[in-house]
Amino acid sequence: MESTKILLDESEIPQAWYNIQADLPEPMPPALHPGTREPIGPEDLAPLFPAALIEQEVSQERWIEIPDEVRSVYALWRPSPLYRARRLEKALKTPARIYYKWEGVSPSGSHKPNTAVAQAFYNREEGIKRIATETGAGQWGTALSFACGLFDLECMVYMVKISFDQKPYRKAIIETYGGTVVASPSTQTEAGRQILAQDPDSPGSLGIAISEAIEDAASREDTHYALGSVLNHVLLHQTVIGMEAELQLQKAGEALPDVAVGCFGGGSNFAGFAFPFMRHRLDHDKDDLRIVACEPASCPTLTKGEYRYDFGDAVGMTPLMPMHTLGHGFVPAPVHAGGLRYHGAAPLVSHLLQGNHLEAKAYQQLECFEAGVQFARSEGIVPAPEANHVIKGAVDEAIRCRETGEEQVIAFNLCGHGHFDMAAYAAYFAGDLEKHEFTGQMLDENMKELSELPTM
């Protein structure tokens, strides 16, 4: 019998995270203080994050040791399996060999606990009692609630209202893990109340929810803030995905992949999978190893955003970060891939895109669901709507190989299951998925707001 999945032992959970900052060809532009517009220092972040994470945010060390207590929680689901997608290959009649890393085996069903557990651990180590955060599709809020429970921390989640309404059962699972969740914009913060005053029916956005969570954390001594993507330390924690995948590909008898594909929202699942492979481009000049990021056409941060300084949140409380952005005032269309609706891109990924170390592609949700359903019917797993973007990207690469006859290795990161997103599948089968383009006019309008901000 041909093997279907490549498993690793618990002893093969990586001992250290891979910090790509050590290998950047050019240094990153610094983040700027939102008030002074000067480069921020650790003291500016101390009200929000524990010292260990602030250190990781700027560290230039290539390997950062994973604490034993974190690895021991990782062992509840890690190492995650790497699958050879034999049935999908057959369905696509492609000569390519397709592999996918399956992060949906985590308790909360996505890659998010990889960083949630680390963040909860470092906060507990520093004596923090409570963490406030935002969540888009709900994956991050669920993961942080799970992680906080294991480290005896309270967890307060501001959930983007459109997703809160679309996915009522996210509330139940966040509560099952012991967390608290409210729809954002909420009346619990000044930021939320401001937005509601302007638009009582606001569907919310990740930017708005971030503003609320930061305000909550900044206003309470016992509370820190946690972000589920974008920041360097978050991307760092996710690199366990790619490191395991690289080892698994070796065990499957493969060299490096020809193409590594990830879906792109804020950047963490993408980077977690891709950075360990990108190391071979940066360190060893393997320029033929292609790295592809797949984002929604309705929120095309990488493909249409401008590379410049912008705020991470909607109202301008965060440091200014150098990133590809659609403008911090942008409220994306309510497509079902809630986890990919964010106006900015992780600074690290943005920086690497500037250096042409990855390609970016944008897809409509309808074609993504088509690919996702084909995947479910071949491989069995029902993917999250976010993950359908990477499947669409991988399928496109496989079809290219069918046309050229190339026996390439395509590897992608299947970041989570769609069990809490079945309303989206129901909408797909009912023919109700809308097309949302992001236009040049929308970009121009959003960019007006940014005219006062420093440029690089």
State the residues that interact with its own copies by CB under 8 A.
1-5, 7, 9-11, 68, 71-72, 75-77, 87, 105-109, 146, 149-150, 168-169, 171-173, 175-178, 373, 376-377, 379-382, 417, 419-420, 422-423, 425-426, 429
Nearest approach in angstroms of CB 349 to its own copies is 29
Distance CA 242, CA 5 (A): 16
Distance CA 95, CA 89 (A): 8
One-letter amino acid for residue 390 of the chain: V
Q: With H, G, I as helix, E, B as strand and everything else as coil, classify residue 389.
A: helix
Rank residues 155 and 362 by Cβ distance to its own copies and give the closer one: 155
Tokens of 356: 């042409």
Rank residues 21 and 163 by Cβ distance to its own copies and give the closer one: 163
Rank residues 46 and 172 by Cβ distance to its own copies and give the closer one: 172
Rank residues 282 and 423 by Cβ distance to its own copies and give the closer one: 423
Nearest approach in angstroms of CB 176 to its own copies is 5
Q: With H, G, I as helix, E, B as strand and everything else as coil, classify residue 411.
A: strand
Rank residues 142 and 205 by Cβ distance to its own copies and give the closer one: 142
CA atoms within a 13 Å half-sphere pointing along the CA-CB vector of 97: 16
Distance CA 269, CA 261 (A): 10
Rank residues 291 and 415 by Cβ distance to its own copies and give the closer one: 415
Asked whether the beta carbons of 52 and 44 are under 8 A apart, the reply is no
Rank residues 54 and 382 by Cβ distance to its own copies and give the closer one: 382
Nearest approach in angstroms of CB 291 to its own copies is 28
Asked whether the beta carbons of 229 and 346 are under 8 A apart, the reply is yes
Nearest approach in angstroms of CB 4 to its own copies is 4
How many helices (H) and strands (E) the chain has is answered by 19, 15
Residues pairing with 363 in the sheet: 296
Nearest approach in angstroms of CB 156 to its own copies is 17
Give how far Cα 92 sits from Cα of 117, 221, 361, 374, 394, Å.
37, 55, 20, 10, 11
Nearest approach in angstroms of CB 80 to its own copies is 11
Rank residues 380 and 440 by Cβ distance to its own copies and give the closer one: 380
Residue indicated by tokens 């590909």: 249
Nearest approach in angstroms of CB 230 to its own copies is 25
Q: Write out 29-82 in H/E/C secondary structure.
A: CCCECCCCCCECCHHHHCCCCCHHHHHHHHCCCCEEECCHHHHHHHCCCCCCCE
Query: Which residues have C-beta within 8 Å of that of residue 71, sequence separation ≥ 6?
Result: 13, 15
Nearest approach in angstroms of CB 382 to its own copies is 6
